[in-house]
Amino acid sequence: MAGAALLGRLTWLADEVVDAVQETPRVRTLVLEADGWDGHRAGQHVDVRLTAEDGYQAERSYSIASAPGEPLAVTVEELEDGEVSPYLVSEAREGDHFEIRGPIGGYFVWDGSGEAPVLLIAGGSGVVPLMAMIRHRARTGSLTPTRLLYSSRSYEDVIYRAELDQPAGGLEVFQTLTRSQPPGWAGYARRIDAEMLDEVAWPAAEEPRVFICGSTRFVDTAADGLVAMGYPPESIRTERFGATG
Ligand SMILES: Cc1cc2nc3c(=O)[nH]c(=O)nc-3n(C[C@H](O)[C@H](O)[C@H](O)COP(=O)(O)OP(=O)(O)OC[C@H]3O[C@@H](n4cnc5c(N)ncnc54)[C@H](O)[C@@H]3O)c2cc1C
């Protein structure tokens, strides 16, 4: 299998947690340093491997949150009863070590250039690889018209809230809070639907490129809605974090 062969060429690197930032009550960003890390592109991910004292190993994928050229960072949401995410969010400390492999992925990647508008759609922690794109766009001074439609459960669950409140370089941010909204909330207050997509997305005739990331169900809903608006399926790139992501 081509994918397996590609991964086989990537070596597991020992890394160290050099910083940790609590983003929301359930989400933390870890900044990692790994000897031999060669840099990444916006949208790629790493595999993380944890090894217990008895030798038991667990591997999971995490999108890279930082822009190319910035220190490597992952942002992890803690899933109740999860195996790996509770360690990364609640236990890992500066100076801790585990292993990473990457960068992985060449399809869900945006280098920040191009004249066609770019539509980014995120559900929950699906905002992570899109944030790498947004940060890369800001760092490179890209003028590509870009919109982010970001769905979170509540205001407290909005990852990168401060950064998204001050969007750089004409980035347009649209947010929806699906379960609860603070007083005076001016954004959307429901799950993403056809009407919302119609209001936020450019008409298909403008040939936007689209990146959608989140749980499988979220990604399918958003992609189906855009296809119904006339977006060609090949203009839509998707990354699925799994059923609960
Ligand atoms: C390309 C890619 C990029 C990703 N990027 C990110 C990212 O940037 N940030 C992020 O937070 N996540 C990301 N993910 C998701 C991540 O890889 C993990 O799936 C996630 O962190 C959960 O792992 P876990 O070990 O904590 O949970 P797991 O142990 O895998 O469990 C997942 C869920 O299933 C439930 N579960 C487990 N076992 C059972 C069972 N036997 N019966 C019923 N339910 C069960 C758990 O309660 C939990 O809610 C990404 C995934 C992919 C594929």
238 Cβ below 6 A of ligand 1? no
Residue pair 104/10 in contact (Cβ under 8 Å)? The answer is yes
pLDDT in tens, 37-55: 999 999 999 999 999 999 9
- And the tokens for 86? 């509770």
DSSP secondary structure letter of residue 179: S
Spatial CA neighbour of 79 closest among 219, 215, 240:
215
Nearest to 124 by CA among 148, 146, 147, 153: 153
Q: Is 75 in the pocket of ligand 1 (CB under 6 A)?
A: yes
Angstrom distance (rounded) from CA 64 to CA 44: 6
Residue nearest to atom 24 of ligand 1 (CA): 82
Q: Nearest 5 degrees, angle CA 135-CA 109-CA 79?
A: 75
Task: Report the C-alpha gap between 238 and 213 in whole angstroms.
Answer: 6
| 74-87 residue pLDDT tens | 999 999 999 999 99
Q: How far is CA 65 from CA 75, 139, 147, 160, 202, in A?
A: 6, 14, 18, 10, 26
pLDDT at 244: 55
125 lines ligand 1 (CB under 6 A): yes
Dihedral sign for Cα 222, 226, 232, 235, please: negative
Cα torsion angle, 105, 110, 116, 119, sign: positive
pTM of the entire structure? 0.95
**Ligand 1 centre from 81 Cα, in Å?**
10
Task: Supply the pLDDT for residue 1.
Answer: 46
- Let me know: does 34 contact 49? Beta carbons within 8 Å: no
Residues in the chain predicted with pLDDT less than 50, given as ranges, are 1-2, 245
